[in-house]
Structure 1
């Protein structure tokens, strides 16, 4: 990538970061495109060169978040409980190393509650619920192997994923907060 392309990509990332910060602090409706341009330290004209509207900018962030949610929960030779352990460790490592990732959890959760989003964005957001659905057979297998506690598999999946969601949101909004240990979250599932 040449220096001009690098500069364009850096500006694009700066806009995305500024918009993400504003969207999670002020909300989508209260964030104005002028606020984003000011936070990114650029003119509105330059911002529009990268994103044609606030809606397109928001949609880009939702697409980024949705891609991250498309994780597969199958690791070769790993037991169901170890798969949840790996996922937890990976998420905690990511949100500790990259504040943008933690903030995406907040954005994705907030976006779930907006009625005004286009249907294609709502479909992308539905991917979050598939993680719970994908987890149910894995929990059932772990229960069969006697490594995951008894209980409703869907309820256990909800408890697990919402714990991760809440922790990521807290760290996004309180960056100096300590991150819990992965095994504390795994205790939700462990027999």
Structure 2
């Protein structure tokens, strides 16, 4: 790839990161395109070369967030608990080493409450929000195997994913704070009694 192409990609990345910081600190409505250009240390003319408007820039961030939140539960593993553990480890690793990823959780949560979004973006957010529903059959399978504690599968899914969401948002706003241990989150769904019986 050419140096020119690399420079363009770096500028685009800088614009996205600057906009993301402002959107989560000031909110979408309060952030002006001039604020983003200033934060990215470039002219508004150069910024418009990459994004036509604040709306297009916000849309791009939402698309990135939706793409990253897609999780496929059709893994070959026979252990639902192992799938949840892998997902939690992946999420925590991502937010620990990549501040951009942690901030995306804040942006995605805030976007859920914006009425001015286009229909396309609303559809994307609905898809991204299906993570809880898609994990319910996995929890039910884990309950049958004795790996996952008994109880309402949807409620367990809510507790698990909302804990990760809340932690990600906190780390995004307080990057100097330590990320919790994955096993603490796993205790939300893990059937400890079943694990002990399998060790006997």
TM-score normalized by the length of structure 2: 0.94
CA distance in 2, matches of 1:129, 1:54: 24
Count residues with an aligned counterpart: 191
Would you say the 8 A contact 1:69–1:127 is kept in 2?
no
- For structure 2, the 5+ residue unaligned runs are 192-200
**1:3-59 deviations in Å (ceiling 9; x for gaps):** 000000000000000000000000000000000000000000000000000000000
Equivalent positions of 1:59-70 (< 5 A) are 59-70=59-70
Instruction: Report the counterpart of residue 44 of structure 1 in structure 2.
Output: 44
Instruction: Quote the RMSD (CA, aligned, Å).
Output: 0.7
TM-score w.r.t. the length of structure 1 is 0.98
Distance in 1 (CA, whole Å) between partners of 2:136 and 2:118 is 29
Q: For the pair shown, which has the larger CA radius of gyration, 1 or 2?
A: 2
Moved segments of 4+, more than 2 Å: none
Instruction: For 1:128-167, list aligned pairs within 5 A.
Output: 128-167=128-167
Aligned to 1:58: 58
Match of 1:76 in 2: 76
Partner of 1:7: 7
Return the offset for 1:127.
2.1
Equivalence for 1:127? 127
2:38 equivalent to 1:35: no
- CA distance in structure 2 between the aligned counterparts of 1:145 and 1:38, rounded to whole angstroms: 55
Moved more, 64-73 or 26-35: 64-73
